[in-house]
Structure 1
Amino acid sequence: MTTEVAVLGAGMHPWGKWGRGFVEYGVAAARAALADAGIAWRDVGSIVGADTVRGGYPGYVAGATFAKALGWQGARVASVYAACASGAQAIGTARTQILAGMADVVLVVGADAAPKGFFRPAGGDRPDDPDWLRFRVLGATNPAYFGLYARRRMAVHGDTLDDFAQVKVKNAAAGALNPNARYRKPVAVEEVAASAVVADPLRLLDICATSDGAAALVLSSMDFARRHGAADPVRIRAVSTVTPTYPTTVLDLPDIATDSAAVVAPADGTFRASIARAAYEEAGIGPEDISLAEVYDLSTALELQWYEDLGLCGEGEGAKLLRDGVTASGGRVPVNTSGGLASFGEAVPAQAIAQVCEVTWQLRGTAGARQIEGARVGVTANQGLFGHGSSVVAVR
């Protein structure tokens, strides 16, 4: 029995600060994906919405909210919340429905209208929420957290400020070619170095912004795709939504000793590495098969860690991979050909879906000036709060 589903359509609403509601963005992305698929909304059997808690009640029931906005037509509906992994969880839900025979065609939509400035937990005081505690007790906003992580890479692996800046330079070059990106201007190393320090050692241009935006996918069974005339569609082969496994239960870092030079990673690596490993195992591939990757670059330093967790190189070798041009456009494994969050900013429920949109266009050969020649296998990776893993493997 096949475990693959077809990607018939991909669509986005451009990222930015547009000052409108998330529903408008989501509907625009959904209609773009439906048009790309050649599917009428009335023929969609199910819709899965990735939630945005900042959108109030409509955001908590995003699936039904988008179904209403597109026009009630009786589709099955589901809504998913997993913070930054919401989009991948929504894709996983849609895939499950298709493979279970519950629907032939499923529309997946994520959209956000993010506030300006640092994200803060929604919903008032939540002393049982580690994210709320991090803000309230430690005063550690996301950039502070990213800065600590960058300092650790510098201490343990010898990464430099120039390495971090080069990640931004690479991603900005790709984003300049992407009509859906918010920031479409190349950036030089000197500009990164001259930008304000936000959370030492990270500068303003090392950290992604918050944005409005949306992304959508039309998924179908392989039988439906063939009947619809899609003889060789992009196919989702794996969706990893794993949680940590004891004793490797620190979500972001290996075990940390008092002396940072003495850090020793657990035998099975970090939680992020387990996310990728589960996706590879399900897809029946390895990192050597990857043509391109879209990863969760909340900060420049974090992108370097993803290289290692995806198995593109060994532990501590991420910066060398970057310096050697392996992850650049034209390199052996281009990473963030879309421009990444560095060029888009965070529109939380949409970003994991947007990653799959980019992989889809690359595998189809329709990515325009960003096109990676001969792309056949793409992987996405990010993670959400409370141990929500997120990785998708797509092939053609």
Structure 2
Amino acid sequence: MSTDVAVLGVGMHPWGKWGRPFTTYGVHAARAALADADVAWTDVDLVVGGETVRNGYGGYVAGATFAQALGWNGARVATSYAACATGAQAIDTARARILAGLCEVALVVGADTTPKGFLAPNAGERWDDPDWLRFRLLGMTNPAYFAMYARRRMDLHGATSEDFAAVKVKNARHGLANPNARYRKEVSAEDVLTSAVVSDPLHLLDICATSDGAAAVVLTSVDYARRHGIAAPVRVRAVSTVTPTFPNTVLDMPNLSTDSSAVAGVPERTFKQSIAHAAYEEAGIGPEDVSLAEVYDLSTALELDWMEDIGLCKPGEAEAMLRAGDTTIGGRVPVNPSGGLACFGEAVPAQAIAQVCEVTWQLRGQATGRQVEGARVGITANQGLFGHGSSVLLST
């Protein structure tokens, strides 16, 4: 049985700090995706919304909120929440219903309006929430968290601040031609290294912003796409929403043993490595087949980690791959040709969907000014709170 579904349409609202209701962005992205698919809103029989908890009651029931804003058409609705993995889970919900034969045309929408400053956990005491604990008890906002990963990478693999700056330089260059990017300005390594230190060793330009924005995709059965006149659509080949494997309960710490199989009871892969592995396994595709990757660059250092986690290189080799130009457009496997979160910032329920939009444009050959030539397979990767995996594998 095929597990493929077709990506018939994609659309976005440009990222920025607009200060408007999240539904405004979501409706814009949804209409763009429907127009791209050449599908009428009245033909949509499922709407899956990415929940955005910061935006009140309407955000908690995002599927119905978007359906109402677009005009009630009788479609079934669902709402997904998995923090930064929300978009991938929403896509997986739609895919499951299509593959089950319960619907043919699904619209998946994620949108957010973010506050100024750092993203913080919602109000209330949650003593079993590690993120609440690090925010409330340790005062450790996200940049401090990112800095610990960066320092670990320096200690384990010899990464330098110059390597981190090179990631920002690359992504800023990629984002120049992206009309949906918030930041479209080339920067130099010196610009990064002389920007304010936010949390040592990370500078201001090493860290992504918080943004408003939206993204949407129209997913259909492959049969529907063919009947619609599209014989070879971009396909979702796999969606990974895996959780950690006990006893590796620290979500993404590497196993420092040189031979993990020699450590009884320790899983072969870290949680982050298992996210992409599950997608590859489901699709029957390996990292050697990947043409491009959109990964979760909350900080420049984290992009290097993700390159290894999704199998583009072995642990400790990401810096060499970056320095060789392999991850820039024109290189062996471009990473974040969209510009990544470095150019967009975080609009949490939308960002995993936005990654799928970018990969779709790339696989269609429609990424004007940033096109990865000959792109055939693309992978996305990020993760949400409490062990929500997030990876979508697409191919032509």
TM-score range, shorter chain: over 0.9
Give the AA of the match of 2:75: A
TM-fit CA distance, 1:340: 0.1
Q: Which residue of 2 aligns with 1:97?
A: 97
Give the AA of the match of 1:12: M
1:364 matched to 2:364 = yes
Q: Which residue of 1 aligns with 2:261?
A: none
Distance in 1 between residues matched to 2:255 and 2:368, nearest whole Å: 43
Give SS of 2:386's match: helix
Distance in 2 between residues matched to 1:186 and 1:29, nearest whole Å: 26
1:293 matched to 2:293 = yes
TM-fit CA distance, 1:267: 5.8
TM-fit CA distance, 1:179: 0.4
What runs of 5+ residues in structure 1 fail to find an aligned partner?
258-265
1:5-46 residue CA offsets vs partner (Å, 9 max, x unmatched):
000000000000001010100000000000000001110010
Between 1:128-137 and 1:194-203, the stretch displaced more is 128-137
1:179-200 residue CA offsets vs partner (Å, 9 max, x unmatched):
0000000110000011000010
Q: Which residue of 1 aligns with 2:351?
A: 351
Between 1:126-135 and 1:61-70, the stretch displaced more is 126-135
1:205-259 residue CA offsets vs partner (Å, 9 max, x unmatched):
00000000000000000000000011110000000000000122211212579xx
1:251 matched to 2:254 = no
Aligned length: 390
Distance in 1 between residues matched to 2:144 and 2:269, nearest whole Å: 24
Distance in 2 between residues matched to 1:206 and 1:360, nearest whole Å: 27
1:2 matched to 2:22 = no
1:368-387 residue CA offsets vs partner (Å, 9 max, x unmatched):
01111100000000000000
- Counting only pairs closer than 5 Å after superposition, residues 20-35 of structure 1 correspond to structure 2 as 20-35=20-35
Q: Which residue of 2 aligns with 1:188?
A: 188
Distance in 2 between residues matched to 1:122 and 1:108, nearest whole Å: 25
TM-score normalised by length of structure 1: 0.97
Distance in 2 between residues matched to 1:274 and 1:255, nearest whole Å: 13
1:242 matched to 2:242 = yes
Distance in 1 between residues matched to 2:256 and 2:22, nearest whole Å: 40
TM-fit CA distance, 1:177: 1.0
- Counting only pairs closer than 5 Å after superposition, residues 101-116 of structure 1 correspond to structure 2 as 101-116=101-116
- Contact between 2:246 and 2:267, CA under 8 Å: does it hold in 1? no
- Contact between 2:45 and 2:75, CA under 8 Å: does it hold in 1? yes
Give SS of 1:92's match: helix
1:160 matched to 2:163 = no
TM-score normalised by length of structure 2: 0.97
Q: Which residue of 2 aligns with 1:223?
A: 223
- Counting only pairs closer than 5 Å after superposition, residues 274-289 of structure 1 correspond to structure 2 as 274-289=274-289
Distance in 2 between residues matched to 1:367 and 1:85, nearest whole Å: 24
Give SS of 1:304's match: helix
1:131-178 residue CA offsets vs partner (Å, 9 max, x unmatched):
111101111100000001100100111000000000000000011110
Give SS of 1:108's match: strand
Give SS of 2:218's match: strand
Distance in 2 between residues matched to 1:331 and 1:226, nearest whole Å: 34
Distance in 2 between residues matched to 1:206 and 1:253, nearest whole Å: 21
Give the AA of the match of 1:140: M
Distance in 2 between residues matched to 1:148 and 1:20, nearest whole Å: 34
1:29-71 residue CA offsets vs partner (Å, 9 max, x unmatched):
0000000000011100100001000011110110000000000
- Contact between 2:247 and 2:267, CA under 8 Å: does it hold in 1? no
Give the AA of the match of 2:82: A
TM-fit CA distance, 1:303: 0.2
- Contact between 2:245 and 2:267, CA under 8 Å: does it hold in 1? no
User: In angstroms, what is the RMSD of aligned CA positions?
Assistant: 1.4
- Contact between 2:363 and 2:377, CA under 8 Å: does it hold in 1? yes
Give SS of 1:386's match: coil
Distance in 1 between residues matched to 2:22 and 2:31, nearest whole Å: 14
Give the AA of the match of 1:192: V
Q: Which residue of 1 aligns with 2:117?
A: 117
1:244-296 residue CA offsets vs partner (Å, 9 max, x unmatched):
00122211212579xxxxxxxx5623211000100000010110000000000
Give the AA of the match of 1:239: V
Distance in 2 between residues matched to 1:267 and 1:220, nearest whole Å: 36
Distance in 1 between residues matched to 2:166 and 2:104, nearest whole Å: 44
Q: Which residue of 1 aligns with 2:391?
A: 391
Residue 382 and residue 370 in structure 1: after superposition, are their counterparts in 2 closer, same or farther (change >3 A)? Answer: same
Q: Which residue of 1 aligns with 2:69?
A: 69
Q: Which residue of 2 aligns with 1:262?
A: none
Give the AA of the match of 1:82: A
Residue 332 and residue 317 in structure 1: after superposition, are their counterparts in 2 closer, same or farther (change >3 A)? Answer: same
Distance in 1 between residues matched to 2:62 and 2:77, nearest whole Å: 9
Give SS of 2:213's match: strand
